[in-house]
Structure 1
């Protein structure tokens, strides 16, 4: 006889159809990322695009909605928490105090400037802060982390991911090319990539295009930005004013997933995190991020994206110009 209470069994049963659908879309995203022409896009990005395509072209049944909602919220928080197992304080200090200043400046300047640009362009506040956070910190992962506390509209999350994907992909090709044209050293090009590109995969790809030294510099600077995700999410949780949904209750000052993120990062920095656990987190995190963004994509309608207009795209362009300028200046100083 099952030991689960009837209401628990009922809840789990309600989640199964939606979670199966999310799993299928997520698996398709990982398969698609291996196809020619799509290898430059991470499965996390492809997952939200496939989720949007499925919802708009096929449709989502009501029986799937509880599981989709669970993936879009709970799985997302768990994925962001697991990011802590992949970074250390040494990442932030790879280039000494000058590198620390560069990483802090890239995030601390870009985020409010981008949000200010978005507001001047008339972009909705939640969409504007998602674009700003994704651009300043670590792309779709940062958008997921920020959204876990501000709870933006699903079409706003999808549009934000599209914006940072577009400009980050342009930067993926532009940084190595421009680095060569203006005579940057491999390390300088790597620093520029790590400080300016949105997604970790974009920064790593652009960095290693210039060789091992360039790639290692890109990884160090990019992971330093990822580590600052905790502070950004904490600040949003404290200062972002949002009306709780019916029955949701007042949000916690420090979300539990953020405490787990910080705890894992601290253990990893101290060398106390077992290698097997780090490897498991590295495997599970992209899967869970892809699943959560696939779920958010399923709540997005193309018509709502068209209604948002081009202003968020221009915010993304201006934001990339800001962080690319900061990154290039830091590369010239540090390299």
Structure 2
């Protein structure tokens, strides 16, 4: 037990008790609890004694259970000390966020960003998994030609370029956001969903290809016991410049960039983006059947390109416009 918090049994979120005003002292009784010096950090002599006491306590606990593997005791002293110091740093950091509202706000925003990033990469993986299914809907001259297109489409799908996946209403009213979500999950046992937010730097051909794959994912998830995804609002479109992707840290190919967006900003020049290889060019020029898209889908694609002209996301009123597969659509997006 540390500061009255049972770390082994705790569930997050939990609240750490305040540090007492009187000087901290080393426990003398068997049932006394160690108090951490939040302000002293790792250099605090009190905390150094805590690290030693914690190490000894864990080793004693393992010796008391000879039938179980002594994983802690097997570690060398430096490794054990390093692990305990990381634990100590985590507790001190949590206390700092708990007592500093501004720090807590920044930490919360960072956590939201991390969650969205993880979902975004999962969506990109799903998109790659559905490339073959999308190409089945298209007639090719030969199987080799289909394989060639498949390679190019897969290269176009990068986690950094996939739509952002958000679980909040963003810039639209919560009631409107919930209504939109309900349209897509009404028949599902899972009553929660994620909004797919478009990136306005993307060229129309790239965005349309992504939308075709996302429509397949939405339909596939409709029967799965997992969080649903639904097309985003214009008000929540992402105005950020494109990110580097892959191990090489590559920017998107020039042909992936919206000309309207490129002309509306002053961060990048056209020459900053590398030319696309032949397979990627073929994928971008892929003739997608009109039957894959509803009237609402096409309206959404047009208005996303209008947003690219301004270089920023939409506004609250704009979000009342059509979204992919929305009102008047016969299929989900």
TM-score range, shorter chain: under 0.3
- Higher-Rg structure is 2
Question: TM-score w.r.t. structure 2 length?
Answer: 0.25
- More helix as a share of residues: 1
